[in-house]
């Protein structure tokens, strides 16, 4: 129990310090990957000024994003944006051709927890907040579930990356 707590504190600290920006008041929407790279947001909202940023019906599926700025509602359907930043974390939209690629996942926005030599994502599942981990080679390639078969296919010549992914996701 103590080991799990210490590991959780370490992972949270690592993510907070090294993986994301620190802006926790703005929510930023990027129409495309190119817009994200060039820092050209489609919409920038400020939570401290009463702006709202949430997913709408059907609950739990994260398919439609609703942004309310100065009493004006804008709804973004699944696939209409590349991703968004919220409370200092970057989320990327991804919908695979085959749902089995991501274990039948119904959430389409993946939270980025590491973005250096490889990109690592997580999604938490309610009610127990069980994290599932995914990865991609960069921010514009397919997202895959962290499992040995996928890792050995993609990184057979890069064992240090496999080791890094296992270390960050605590999957081995």
Structure tokens at 158: 């890069």
Would the pLDDT of 110 be above 50? yes
Instruction: Find the mean pLDDT for residues 132-142.
Output: 93
pLDDT at position 10, please?
42
Structure tokens at 15: 């993510």
Would the pLDDT of 64 be above 50? yes
pLDDT at position 136, please?
95
**Domain spans in the chain, listed from the N-terminal domain onward:** 2-22+88-169
Would the pLDDT of 144 be above 60? yes
> 107-113: which pairs have CB atoms within 8 A and are 24 or more residues apart?
107/60, 107/61, 107/62, 108/61, 108/62, 108/63, 108/78, 108/79, 109/62, 109/65, 109/83, 109/84, 110/134, 110/143, 112/19, 112/20, 112/139, 113/15, 113/19, 113/168
The 3-state DSSP class for residue 106 equals coil
pLDDT at position 97, please?
63
Residue among 136, 42, 126, 153 nearest 94 (CA): 136
Quote the CA–CA distance of 162 and 155 in Å, as a whole number. 7
| Interval 119-131: pLDDT, tens | 999 986 655 567 8
């Amino acid at each position: 129990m103590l080991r799990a707590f210490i590991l959780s504190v370490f992972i949270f600290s690592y993510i907070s310090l090294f993986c994301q920006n620190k802006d926790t008041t703005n929510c930023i929407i990027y129409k495309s990957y190119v817009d994200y790279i060039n820092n050209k947001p489609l919409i920038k909202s400020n939570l401290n000024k009463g702006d709202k940023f949430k997913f709408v019906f059907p609950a739990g599926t994260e398919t439609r994003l609703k942004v309310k700025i100065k009493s004006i509602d804008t709804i973004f359907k699944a696939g209409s944006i590349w991703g968004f930043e919220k409370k200092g974390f970057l989320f990327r939209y991804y919908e695979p051709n085959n749902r089995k690629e991501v274990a039948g996942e119904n959430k389409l926005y993946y939270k980025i927890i590491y973005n250096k030599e490889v990109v690592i994502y997580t999604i938490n599942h309610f009610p127990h907040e069980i994290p599932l981990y995914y990865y991609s080679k960069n921010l514009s390639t397919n997202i895959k579930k962290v499992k040995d078969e996928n890792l050995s296919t993609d990184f057979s010549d890069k064992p240090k990356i496999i080791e890094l992914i296992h270390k960050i996701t605590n999957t081995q």
